[in-house]
A and B are shown apart, each in its own frame.
Chain A
Amino acid sequence: MQQKFLQLLLIALFVYALTGVQGIDVPRPRGVSLVKAPLYQPQPDGKWNCIDGSKTIPFTQINDDYCDCADGSDEPGTAACSNGQFHCLNTGHQSVDIPSSQVQDGICDCCDGSDELEESQCENTCVALGAAAAIQRRNEAELHMKGAEKRQEMINRGKQLKADRSARRSELNARIKEQELLKTEKEHLKATAEALESEAVEAFKEQQRELDAVTAQAEQEPQQMRQEASLTFVRYDTNKDGFVEITELMVDMNLDRDRNGVVTVEEAKYFLDERDRMDLDAFITLAWPRIKPLKMLADGLFQPPVPTPAEERAPQQDNTKDAEQLDSEPTEEHADMDVPDEEDGEDEEQYDDEEPDVGVGEATPDVETTTAAPIYDPETQRLIEQANEARNAYEEVARQIREIEHEIKELDEQEGKDYGPNEEWSVLDGECYTFEDREYVYTLCPFDRVSQKPRNGGAETTLGRWDQWVGEGANKYSKQKYAQGAACWNGPQRSAIINIKCALEPRITSVSEPNRCEYYYEFETPAACDRDAFTASAQSQHDEL
């Protein structure tokens, strides 16, 4: 194929040389490019061969608005062959081939208007377009030029960072060895102090035994509540980020307090004490007391005061079954539940008022009845304090070791990341960029994560964590992928593609969601400015002309 093209090119050049024609005035049928002109010469008998050689037709049947050749080559200037090509010369701008389907259809596709027979209907916009394109190219070249300088800075800094990381790694290796030694020493001191402490405390405790027996029982009940609450917490926390969020609560139709078929944001917020999300501890103390009564209600363990008329109206009910159905068919549930109908608003309010009393009583002891530390005799107290000091000293060393280990891990992770052939992307690691649209604030922290947060408050959702470079072929460093984001409702885990362009300042220019839960960022940074690559691509474009 390519060979054939070269041949054509040679023939064209040959014709050029032979005829000495300047410019483009080689006679040829409409829609034929200069390069292909030599293929459209009649044989001495007035016949002509289709370019694929499949057929011989009279030369006069070229562009006679009837498709004779299987390859469409006899109708370069009409729409007769569906597989044909029309060549727009577009003097002043870029020549292009358009499909025959666009020839003579009333729409000006070539900027010189040559695809429509009545060229007067089309304005020739090639010169203007050509000039605009030239300016655009110049601007882009300039951008890449300036951008490349900034990129060079980034490369320098990136290389420096790499060196720093390496140096730091060696330093940490040395430090961790020191600390390990120190740790062993402190551990020994701690053991000694603790032995003394333990002896003294045992003696003291002997006296306190009876008292302890009483307090132990008091602790058990909150413990059970804690367990229940934790289990529920884990169930709600579907994205496993350690927080229960509004959206996660909205799934549970048990929480549909006004029984209108949907758990609204307001309803969910009520359970979260008007917050957007809660960690486990807050959940246990604040949310669980509110949720528990509804759970019990759904499980049929708890009967709120129900006015008699409503009971009459819904005689055959099976609470257990209804509770099972809730997840799959919440629209049906609200009247299925053993609660008053909507009309009985008054009673419902009454029930709401009572609600907090049901569970709160169990949660409060945590705060109020925390047993105060016993008062030891002075000698025991001294030994305890010594032991505490030893423990603290040991903990301090252990903590430092953990910190160092953490830093080493981070360094190793960074070392594993691909910051580009020249480390030019390295400086972006640790930065974060945001983009706001109407509903959300989108964040991109390169080499770490992308996320989305509603503008009107609410929890942040992770759209993806750093995965890899995914640009095609030579453009590997033009696209990043972030994967394993928070799971969508009944859908896949969120992910994002970052398309990167050259600009002088780093910024996100747009964010969209072309597929559900698959995000697409347009991001600009000088790191993507590459003078050499740009010049090369511009050159190859030019060659095609």
Chain B
Amino acid sequence: MRCSLFVCLIIGALFSYGAGVDPSNFKTCEQSSFCRRSRKVQSSGSKYALIRGTLNTYSDSLTADLINKENHHQFTLKLEALVGNTFRLQIDEKQPLRQRYRVEHALKGKPETTRISVQESDELTITAGTSKAVIHGDPFRIDFYEHDVHVVSVNAKNWLYFEHLRQKAQTPPEPAEGNDQAHQQQDHQDNSEEVQPASEPIDDPGAWEENFKSHHDSKPYGPQAVALDFSFPAAEILFGIPEHADSFQLKSTSGTDPYRLYNLDVFEYVVDSKMALYGSVPVLYAHGPKRTAGVYWQNAAETWVDIYTTETNVVSSLVNFVSGSRKSTPPVAHFISESGIVDAFIMLGPQPLDAFKQYAALTGTHELPQAFALAYHQSRWNYNDERDVTSVSAKFDEFNMPMDTMWLDIEYTDGKRYFTWDKFKFPEPLTMIKNLTELGRHLVIIIDPHIKRDNAYFFHQDCTENGYYVKTREGNDYEGWCWPGSASYPDFFNPVVRDYYASQYDLSKFKTVSKDVMIWNDMNEPSVFNGPEVTAPKDLVHYGNWEHRDVHNLYGHMHLMGTFAGLKQRDPQQRPFILTRAHFAGSQRYAAIWTGDNLADWTHLQHSIKMCLTEAVAGFSFCGADVGGFFGNPDSELLERWYQTGAFLPFFRAHAHIDTKRREPWLFPERTRAVIKSALLTRYSYLPLWYTSFYELEQTGAPVIRPLLTHYPADKEAFAIDSQLLVQHRLLVRPVMQQGVSKVDVYFPAIDDKKNGDYWYDVDTFQRHERAGYESIPVTDDKIPVFQRGGSIVPKKERQRRSSKLMLNDPYTLVICLDRQGKAAGTLFLDDEKSYAYRNGESIYVNYEFANNQLTNRFITKPLYKSDAWIERIIIAGLGYVPIDATITAKGISQKLEIEQRSNGAIVVRKPAVKMNLDFALKLNAA
């Protein structure tokens, strides 16, 4: 084996193979002192109240002071109304001993505010458009209404818990006796010499220092947790707060640990778990048949989220039905963070897509990717050398399978020194890259944030000399262990460091790549092999003198900002492509994500959809899982099904661990090869739909892949379904994700109480499914159960090429599936698939509409992009008759077109041959 001895040792030594993660390597809530303390409040409750006479009202916001009636510490509250049915609530200490961290760079900009009107009576009522917030003074609580329906409450459970900063006591705290007395004498404005009441956090042995395993956390600023509860009276289920390998619907944490948000490199993670993973996106949605709302808890410190829901089951719904009560208690989410302030965005929907868009309006979306990024990616740890890369690429051609991008994992570098190449294995990288790009292919290389501590390495020299590394508490450069051995970590929070980092991507510095080479940022949680929980110690110090504790979940995000800036500076004309493992709210503006180091097993395949659906509603539509599973060796069947599933997730990449057997498609028997090829061709044929969807994501914030409830919000049976996904509102996908099955149950969602559903057409056979509910669909090896919604038009490209770039000028196929009224509509976006010219209008964005036996187009924007593409064929399903021919009229010239028949009554209009930028009308002629 060729991996360096060191790496082998680290891998081998860190973890024992095959057993999966050892949960004891990671903290439980009970082992984390702030979580333990904050959670305790759930039994006792807290006592916060508004201080009368401190209210200040502004045009778009109000402020008031808040007091903890137990320790008399004072806080400032700010409630701001934002455009789009959203409120922002911020609570900070009125006079903190030291400034508390406020998250930066997560929002895409300063949110636009809107006017409010305030009515003061017993309560304060703040109205903004159709939404309203009612603040109750004592006990403090805020109720939010959308069109007068109560959808969210803040602090309804009185679980608000805010540990103010304090001086460390000189001596260990006395036992509780005498504290009550002291409490009574306490002047609440006297912060510094305050004596603590019995329940104060200072009692907790972990308040001022904490140990986990062998690691010590010095905690120089003591306890500083913030926690708050949110109730959702109009909701039945909660979802969101990725990243967890768990169901789409959040489960009650009563009796278990809370969901944890703390970016961690978890080796061989297990599914059905609330453990933290690589990314943390603290946005949560609450959904009921009539209303959807959301909360974005903007905090980058370690966060735990308790969920309380009455899990709906047959019995409980029967009880509710009989008793007439709609439900017992509303679902509750309790956010608990280690430091920072309360900064919560309350998004009031009212519908799921509204809430998703409200979140996108705050944190942004991925910009339109280059088309190749949506095509198929071939990766492995590692393609060993130039010959290996070249031969894998050639094999795809030999077997006539499309492939767009080859990936290089860490072994291409010179000893894990990023921005360098192993000169022996890759003596001529530019030639190798050129060989790929000449076939329209791309190369993606990995660049991790850890920097090898080697005095001869320029990057290390620069960072050392200029003080660019993250510091220890004592002010030295922090040293951890990662792939290169001893490594340090650039402090990307420092704008100067980001600039330096970005400049390294410039081709004048990084001369051994071309501007078509894109980047994979891995290990950016950050992963530290010998650190606490395999990450950085919390008492490290970042730019601005913030502790790592305050900013941990943002580290990867800041890394991405550097990379994104670097790629844009390198080539301002080209849209960057970055893949990241760590992510936070807003990281979707810079990078795609994947679900990390999964396992070649069926449950992980199933979780790829669950996890990506959750990520998609949390802003990360550009999500996928390692096809085949990172660890382990998939058998033929699992690999086939994984390709089929991956073909319908936005990011489609096969990847494998260095210890696994090679698994390029041609290494499998002919039968498997054929199934994989078919899945690849299916993916490529739908690229125009994926591309259009991503354009519309950028325009509107609507996720590309969506849970059923997005468009079927009243269908309770659909709420928790996470084995199916919608691609926009056009396709319903239910891949086969079980071993050895000959049929799968597909749920067709209902549009009303009477079990009416949309029409769904099998995309292979055009067989129509008309009723809502479960239906058993027979499947063969090469069947992917995918259905197109009646009423939609899907653009496709059905010609095969070696790579997506070579398809640019290929003609389109429009697939029209008719609804009950015989109508359908759908958009198509096209441009050069690479540059930013579309932002100057060089694009074609068109809506196709079919009604009254006629297809017409309407350009949504002026069609300024010059395309050689044209419409090759139009497939119409659900027509109910066979026209004798069709007439197309464009530029005043009419022409007859032939009609061919397909299965289940679908027809094909042969070769309209109209260019994409032309207006036309196409009429079917009945006999």
Contacts and interface: CB of A to CB of B under 8 A. Distances in A.
Do A and B truly interact? yes
Interface of A: 64-66, 79-80, 82, 99-102, 105-107, 247, 250-251, 253, 260-263, 265, 313-314, 327-336, 437-439, 488-491, 512-517
Contact of B22 (A66, A260, A329): A329
Nearest to A55: B900
Contacts of A262: 6, 9-10, 13, 481, 485
A490 B801 contact: no
Contacts, number: 118
Chain B interface size, under 10 / 10 to 19 / 20 to 34 / 35 or more: 35 or more
B872 A101 contact: no
B467 to A, nearest CB: 22
B481 A261 contact: yes
Contacts of B661: 515
Interface of B: 1-2, 5-6, 8-17, 22, 25, 213-216, 384-385, 387-388, 397, 400, 402, 424, 438-440, 481, 485, 529-530, 534, 658-662, 681, 798-802, 806, 810, 872-873, 910-911
A251 B2 CA distance: 17
B5 A265 contact: yes
A59 B9 CA distance: 68
Contacts of A80: 799, 872
A66 B911 contact: yes
A268 to B, nearest CB: 10
Contacts of A514: 384, 388, 662
Contacts of B439: 107
A490 B631 CA distance: 13
10 contacts: A65-B911, A101-B801, A107-B439, A260-B530, A261-B530, A331-B529, A334-B530, A439-B2, A515-B661, A515-B662
A263 to B, nearest CB: 7
A82 B12 contact: no
Given A262-B9, A335-B215, A438 B659 contact: no
B13 A331 contact: yes
B802 A331 contact: no
Nearest to A334: B214
A161 to B, nearest CB: 37
Nearest to B216: A313
A106 B806 CA distance: 7
Given A251-B12, A512-B384, A331 B659 contact: no
Given A332-B213, A334-B214, A82 B25 contact: no
B800 A101 contact: yes
Contacts of B17: 490
Contacts of A99: 400, 800
A513 B801 CA distance: 31
Contacts of B11: 490
Which A-B residue pairs are the 6 nearest by beta carbons? A335-B214, A82-B800, A101-B800, A330-B13, A105-B806, A328-B16
Given A101-B400, A260-B481, A491-B659, 14 more contacts: A65-B911, A79-B799, A79-B810, A107-B802, A251-B12, A328-B15, A328-B16, A328-B22, A329-B13, A329-B22, A437-B424, A489-B1, A490-B12, A514-B662
A332 B214 contact: yes
Given A262-B13, A330-B13, A102 B25 contact: no
Contacts of A331: 10, 13-14, 481, 529-530, 534
Contact of A107 (B13, B215, B438, B530): B438
A488 B1 contact: yes
A473 to B, nearest CB: 17
A66 B910 contact: yes
Best-surrounded residue of B438, B662, B799, B872 (most CB of chain A within 10 A): B799
A263 B12 CA distance: 12
A447 B800 CA distance: 48
Contacts of A335: 214-215
A265 B485 CA distance: 13
Nearest to A262: B9
Nearest to A437: B424
B799 A82 contact: yes
A513 B658 CA distance: 11
A270 to B, nearest CB: 16
A66 B870 CA distance: 12
A516 B2 CA distance: 7
A331 B17 CA distance: 15
A101 B802 contact: yes
Given A329-B22, A516-B659, A336 B15 contact: no
B659 A66 contact: no
Nearest to A264: B6
Contact of B214 (A247, A253, A328, A336): A336
A102 B803 CA distance: 10
Contact of A105 (B388, B400, B802): B802
B810 A253 contact: no
A513 B384 contact: yes
A327 B402 CA distance: 45
Contacts of B14: 329-331
B213 A517 contact: no
A121 B534 CA distance: 55
A250 B213 contact: no
Nearest to B685: A82
A456 B50 CA distance: 74
Given A334-B214, A335-B215, A516 B658 contact: yes
Given A251-B12, A438-B424, A515-B661, A332 B25 contact: yes
B310 to A, nearest CB: 40
Given A490-B12, A514-B388, A82 B798 contact: yes
Contacts of B15: 328-329
Contact of B1 (A101, A250, A438, A517): A517
A253 B12 CA distance: 11
Contact of B2 (A79, A105, A329, A513): A513
A86 to B, nearest CB: 12
Contacts of A247: 5
Contacts of A333: 214
Contacts of A251: 9, 12-13
A99 B802 CA distance: 10
B340 to A, nearest CB: 29
B795 to A, nearest CB: 17
B659 A263 contact: no
B21 to A, nearest CB: 12
A507 B439 CA distance: 35
Nearest to B807: A105
Contacts of B440: 107
Given A262-B13, A334-B214, A335-B215, A329 B25 contact: yes
Contact of A490 (B384, B529, B659): B659
A312 to B, nearest CB: 12
A504 B530 CA distance: 54
B337 to A, nearest CB: 26
A100 B810 CA distance: 13
A512 to B, nearest CB: 7
Given A250-B5, A513-B1, A102 B802 contact: yes
